[in-house]
Amino acid sequence: MKGQQDFISPLVNPFDIERPIDWSRQFPKRGPLELEIGFGLGEVMLQSAQERPDVNFIGIEQNWERLYKTLKARFEKRAEQNEEEFLNNIKILRIDARVALERLFEEQSINKVITLFPCPWPKKSHVKHRLFSHNFLKLLNSRLEPEGSAELVTDDEKFFKWVLQESPATGFSRTTEEIAAQFNTKFERKWQEEGQETFYKITFHKKDHISVPIKKDVEMKSYRLKSFDPQKLQLKDEKGNVCVIFKDTLYDSDKNVMMIYAMVTEGHLFQHLRIVIAKTKDFWHIGRADGQTLFPTNGIAKAIKRVYECAKESS
């Protein structure tokens, strides 16, 4: 059991913790905070954490296989070293980097950010998915400490030039350089094998602070109706800045309970939501179903209210 606990100990569940996170309480000792976005197999993060034990590292990665392999590599290194404090300065988040910066980090709390070989999303229709847009850089600026820095390394020259175009008026000065392979990551080795020898690096130096307030949780309301006809319910999707798409409904006539499955999108935050309509003695109650891991946002509140409005029309 102790081995299992140590294996998963770097994982931080962003849904089961007070937000924004007090990162000083997540590590055994205080130290500068460095963030790696998209750490892949964790080669750079593990090496950095080993070489600089007085720095606390947070890694963000959404791919479960890469995340597991990083946890495994850390666990094996700790077993070889057999020291309690060895590589205990690492925490890991499985979440979109934009959402993490918006909700989990206080302003001016990170010393350094590093991003190696992010997906360039080369198609014009995919531009909205790219990291290091103008708005992302302002968000990054707000979370960096005074005189903090962010480093981006890419294999894609077009993406490199696009980021430079996005960077004015984001509170950064910047330096650029062409570099040789030096990180020994999976993707760097891949580009080398395909014949690429030159990579592109941008270092953003924070000069002016740009405040981007933390996105906070929204209080979730529940509703009730005196009457409701499940057979007449017609759910209406909502499009716009907040997008609510209703997918499936399941009604148990014996228990007078209906479960509604919806998808809610707000910017880069995509969430699955279950809404329950359940009858008690005198009323039908409408609200978020129990047992869900999600951020209580305006979009979630709007989806629940939309179900209430549609249910009211059917009563």
Please state, in angstroms and rounded to a whole number, the distance separating the CA atoms of residues 5 and 239: 43
Strand 56-60, strand 33-37: pairing: parallel
CB 98 within 8 A of CB 267: yes
For residue range 48-93, list pLDDT tens digits in order: 999 999 999 999 999 999 999 999 999 999 999 988 889 999 999 9
Q: What SS3 class is residue 315?
A: coil
Asked if the model's pLDDT at residue 4 lies above 90, the reply is: no
The proportion of the chain whose per-residue pLDDT surpasses 90, expressed as a percent, equals: 93
In the chain, where the domains are located = 2-206, 223-314
Give the pLDDT score at 1. Answer: 46
Q: Would you state the torsion angle of the CA atoms of residues 275, 280, 282, 283, taken in this order, to the nearest 10 degrees?
A: 0
Distance, in Å, from the CA atom of 156 to the CA atom of 158, rounded to the nearest integer, reads: 6
What crossing angle do the helices spanning 43-51 and 64-81 adopt, rounded to 10°?
30
The CATH architecture to which 2-206 belongs is 3-Layer(aba) Sandwich (3.40)
Q: List 245's β-bridge partners, or say none.
A: 263
Instruction: Please indicate whether residue 315 or residue 185 has the higher confidence score (pLDDT).
Output: 185
Residue 315 pLDDT: 73
Pairing mode, if any, of strands 144-154 and 199-206? antiparallel
pLDDT in tens, 264-315: 999 999 999 999 999 998 999 999 999 999 999 999 999 999 999 999 998 7
Distance CA 239, CA 248 (A): 18
Closest CA to 263 of 235, 223, 286: 235
d(Cα 130, Cα 199) in Å, to the nearest integer? 18
Percent of the chain surpassing pLDDT 70: 99
pLDDT score of 2 more than 80: no
